[in-house]
Amino acid sequence: MGFWSKKEKNNSEPTPEAQAAAAIQASRVSMNELVLQSIHEGVVFIGPEGNVHLANPTATQLLGRSYDEILNLNYDSVFDFFDKTGNRISLSRNPIATALKTNEYSETRDLDLIAKDSKKNTPVSLTISPTSPGQNGRSSFVITFRDITKEIAEEHERSEFISTASHEMRTPVASIEGYLGLALNPQTATIDDRAKSYLEKAHESSQHLGRLFQDLLDTTKLDDGQITPKLEPVEIVGLVKQISDAQIPNISKKGLGYQFGSGSVDQQVGGGKRIDQVIYASIDPDFMREIVNNIIENAIKYTPAGWVTVNVRADEYNVQITIADTGIGIAREELNHVFQKFYRVDNRDTREIGGTGLGLYLVKQRVEAMNGRIWVESEVGKGSQFIILFPRISQNEYEQRNFMNQNVEKQEKGL
């Protein structure tokens, strides 16, 4: 009996090993708190139900509220987001609400946060990261955000510089290109074959430089919102065919085949003839021209032999434009980068082909500005296809909006 009593007494006291483990755990907790408090980004931890369980000092400072004020509150009562036009965002546009619904990671730089204590608008970079899902399959989330006021100001200064420099340099480059064109014109100048070959290379380089400055100018204007789409209802099959058909001379000059199609492949009548769809969408025709021309020109450049194919089709909700080639293709690891600014695929096949690295970035910006999506599917040695998706509008909506636009034009002209 005494033995068991002694054993129980010993069990009630922590062993040296247990004491050491407890000390290490306490040290870890203390260190985690120290790290969290020293981070210069706001960090907020919310549970699957959307309530705040933890926040660091930077977060409370940016939110303009004390820790005790926000603890256990729902995120919607803590984060007051506005868009760049100054309007409070709805729940359906709130990235935190979307993350709670989808359990997916997201990030944005397009929102302003309003601090409760000062009512000051602060542009923020916001990241929402899910943790491992719990037993019910729902995740908690770590929300990190930081003030990017200074970054935006610096980006604006850089854009201003690039815009001004590009604009100023376009004039002398255009003059150089013009004079080289005159030198190459047999009606205005007589030169030998060697001089002609040199001038042709100089002329090509000046044209490339001119395109680079124009792309830089367009990039800064798009980024700053100086270029916005003028959406109008359009019969999109005819428009895309007109744009792509204009590239036939360039396609033929490279020795490539060309094909344009529209409609679903199962829409056929007797004799195997396909019925073309009549498809309407609300887009900016000038933006669409830039998009289609850029992708087709890339297809021509990166296709040594084979075909360039353009197809427009639609389902009940969307218009899909597919521009495909049988060219050198893009490696899988490069696919996520091709729409980035200044990014060019770098391999043996592409190094001798000129480009600014801005074309596909501008394409993506223009597509998204018209409420569309674009992506690329490709395999090395088997070609690429760029797929563009826009919301479809009905024939009735097309006719109504055209009628309204015509009335507005008449009113503006005083008719």
Give the separation between CA 105 and CA 113, rounded to whole angstroms: 20
Give the separation between CA 341 and CA 158, rounded to whole angstroms: 14
pLDDT of residue 310: 95
367-375: long-range contacts, CB 8 A cutoff, minimum separation 24 = 367/291, 369/222, 369/228, 369/229, 369/284, 369/287, 370/229, 370/231, 370/282, 370/283, 370/284, 370/287, 370/288, 372/283, 374/339
pLDDT of residue 238: 93
Using CA atoms, how far residue 76 sits from 96, 102, 115, 148, 378, in Å, is 9, 17, 13, 22, 42
Tokens 């290379």 correspond to what residue? 201
pLDDT of residue 87: 86
pLDDT of residue 52: 93
Are the C-beta atoms of 108 and 89 separated by less than 8 Å? no
Are the C-beta atoms of 125 and 150 separated by less than 8 Å? no
Give the count of beta carbons closer than 10 Å to the beta carbon of residue 194. Answer: 8
Beta 307-314 vs 257-262: how paired, if at all?
Answer: parallel
DSSP symbol at 91: G
pLDDT of residue 17: 61
Of the candidates 375, 378, 380, the residue with the CA atom closest to the CA atom of residue 348: 380
pLDDT of residue 409: 61
Are the C-beta atoms of 291 and 247 separated by less than 8 Å? no
Using CA atoms, how far residue 21 sits from 26, 108, 398, in Å, is 9, 41, 72
Q: Give the E-state strand segments of 40-176 in sequence order.
A: 42-46, 52-55, 81-82, 106-114, 121-130, 141-147
Using CA atoms in the order 396, 402, 407, 409, what is the torsion angle rounded to 10 degrees? 170
Q: What are phi and psi of 257, to 5 degrees?
A: -85, 160
Q: Which two tokens stand for residue 68?
A: 């005790």
Helices 193-223 and 359-369, axial angle in degrees (round to 10): 40
Tokens 């569309």 correspond to what residue? 372
Give the pTM.
0.58
pLDDT of residue 215: 76
Of the candidates 52, 140, 132, 134, the residue with the CA atom closest to the CA atom of residue 100: 140
Walk along the chain (415 residues) and give the pLDDT tens digit of each residue.
333 333 444 455 667 666 555 554 545 445 566 667 768 899 999 999 999 999 999 999 999 999 999 999 999 999 999 987 788 888 888 999 988 888 888 888 889 999 887 777 899 999 999 987 766 678 899 999 999 999 888 877 877 777 777 777 778 888 888 888 888 888 888 888 888 888 888 988 888 788 777 777 777 777 777 778 899 999 999 999 999 999 999 999 999 999 998 765 344 333 444 446 789 999 999 999 999 999 999 999 999 999 999 999 998 889 999 999 999 999 888 888 888 887 776 555 554 555 567 889 889 989 998 989 999 999 998 999 999 999 999 888 888 887 777 665 666 566 5
Beta 141-147 vs 106-114: how paired, if at all?
Answer: unpaired
pLDDT of residue 271: 41
pLDDT of residue 243: 95
pLDDT of residue 402: 78
pLDDT of residue 133: 73
3-state secondary structure of 124: strand
